[in-house]
Structure 1
Amino acid sequence: MPSQNPAYADPPHPLLPKVEMSLDLGRTALLVIDPQIDFLSPQGAAWSVFGESVTEHRTVENLGRLFEAAKRAAIPVVISPHYYYPFDHRWNFAATGETLMHRLHMFDRRDPLSLEGFDGSGADWMPEFKAYIQDGETIVCSPHKIAGPQTNDVVFQLRKQRIDQVILAGMAANFCVESHLRDLVEKGFEVAVVRDATAAGKIPEGDGYLAALTNFRWFANALWFTDEAVERLSRNRRSPLAA
């Protein structure tokens, strides 16, 4: 069920033109950003910042529904994770969002080549998603380091699958999700953002979800709720033989 917060409702008389995105599952992927404990779990390092929004939008439940629908539709599922290694904490400068993540020790791993201490850590996948991500089919990209995919191989992996339509979800709405959206659109992809399969921080400086929602309306080719995304994937289900 969509959030009942009136601040997030679509305007009754919008100025922006209505556009739509017609899925062709032969060239569509689900891209999920940072489906990790530190963002999405009460045990995560950033729950005090993001927990209210995650709960309000039922983000974990909706991401699970998207994973299941994408697997049933036999489309590629791509993960853009966030990891920090010890040397990342030795950067000489950082912007505000980076600084917060470093202070909270979000997504910390001991070494890029070791999984020691990874299982159950804040950098690990949410337990609800592990069966989907660790099925031997999901593409797990190298980590992005701040917010956008410019520092990892998301675009490369999508291009190698001949993907040019992306269903986009994950964390956080006004940070990594919006940054991925902007970069993908600039590179010629059609992008549908699933608005209740994301969330953002609510802090004295403002509601990150509301900021992101405003910009999703400007930049995305489509803005769907999870119900609509799942229905579209079900309606256009792809035969596994065509994968």
Structure 2
Amino acid sequence: MTDMLACETPDPVLIPLGSSARNSWSVSSSHANLVRSSVPPRAASVQAQDKIVTIDLARTAIIVVDMQNDFCHPRGWLGHIGVDVTPLRLPIPSLRRILPALRAVDVPVVWLNWGNRPDLLNLSPALLHVYKPTGEGVGLGDPLPGSGARVLERESWSAAIVDELSPEPSDILVSKYRMSGFQDTELDSILRNLGITTLLFAGVNADQCVLCTLQDANFRGYDCLLVSDCTATTSPDYCMEATLYNVQQCFGFVTQSSAVLAAVEGNKPYELGGTR
């Protein structure tokens, strides 16, 4: 028996493989262990518009849409073409409160910003027409008079997050090129790799990019909560009212940042290999 034990092959040293601790397995030259480490659920109850909604913070992320200079800064693109961006800045104080609280309980913060390729090769004439209907003026990718910043160009001042909402190193940045952040982007792959099933939504414009992204999230099977005071639009009031109605009626739930803050209070992140 002693000789048999001495001849047994020792357990291989397995090396973790995966970009996310939430979705990784381990491998060696002779073995592959495909068993993922489980993350215990962390339930938190949020007061929504018509009921209490219990979410799993371990599988929740917040998507912050288009809180960037060209939309929210007075000297950005919308300001240049005469749009009053004051309403688009209203979510900033609520986001400054809610985002640190979510980071503290290990809820990923995903910044979803419009960011064109410099050559615009993935943008169709039909899309360019939306923002330049006469063929004249300043549209996607064109330089703004004065600053020369190109409208919504990726990695430019135009596409950068407004100074008041500077992202943390742990945050995730995704560029989009359509109203929906799921169209032709890596957003879905990132969320699934993180094991995310529930999405909180914030940003601008509520009735356009936020709603389109939320709808696509719902179509893909994510549970969706719109945080109403972290969301805004320059459209008429009835557009916001219709957005809140449609989200609550068809695509998920409507809540407020105060309810989310109350829900996360007292929750602590779970570390793989550790304890809560």
> TM-score if structure 1 supplies the norm length?
0.75
The one-letter code matched in structure 1 to 2:85 is G
Match in the other structure for 1:174 = 207
Mapping for residues 29-108 of structure 1, pairs under 5 Å: 29-47=61-79, 48-49=82-83, 51-55=85-89, 58-88=90-120, 91-94=124-127, 97-99=130-132, 103=139, 107-108=151-152
The size of the alignment, in residue pairs, is 211
Residue number among 239, 253, 263 corresponding to 1:208 in the alignment: 239
| Mapped pair 1:192 → 2:225 | yes
Residue number among 209, 214, 221 corresponding to 2:252 in the alignment: 221
Contact 1:31–1:78, Cα closer than 8 Å, also in 2: yes
Separation of aligned partners in 1, 2:203 and 2:251: 15
Structure 1 residues not aligned, in runs of 5+: 1-16
Residue number among 237, 258, 261 corresponding to 1:230 in the alignment: 261
The one-letter code matched in structure 2 to 1:219 is C
| Mapped pair 1:122 → 2:158 | yes
Q: Deviations over 1:131-171 (max 9, x none)?
A: xx2x3211112x21121112211111110000001111111
Separation of aligned partners in 1, 2:116 and 2:126: 15
**1:207 offset after TM fit, Å?**
4.8
Separation of aligned partners in 1, 2:58 and 2:112: 21
Residues 1:43 and 1:232: Cα distance change in structure 2 (over 3 Å): farther
The one-letter code matched in structure 1 to 2:83 is V
**1:32 offset after TM fit, Å?**
1.0
1 or 2, which has the higher helix percentage?
1
Separation of aligned partners in 1, 2:51 and 2:128: 34
DSSP 3-state at the match of 1:162: coil
**1:50 offset after TM fit, Å?**
5.3
Contact 1:82–1:123, Cα closer than 8 Å, also in 2: yes
DSSP 3-state at the match of 1:201: coil
**Percentage identity across aligned positions?**
21
Match in the other structure for 2:10 = none
Bigger mean CA offset, 35-44 vs 179-188: 35-44
Contact 1:171–1:177, Cα closer than 8 Å, also in 2: yes
The one-letter code matched in structure 2 to 1:238 is P
RMSD of equivalent CA atoms? 2.9
Separation of aligned partners in 2, 1:75 and 1:46: 31
Contact 1:185–1:219, Cα closer than 8 Å, also in 2: no
> TM-score if structure 2 supplies the norm length?
0.67
Separation of aligned partners in 1, 2:111 and 2:232: 17
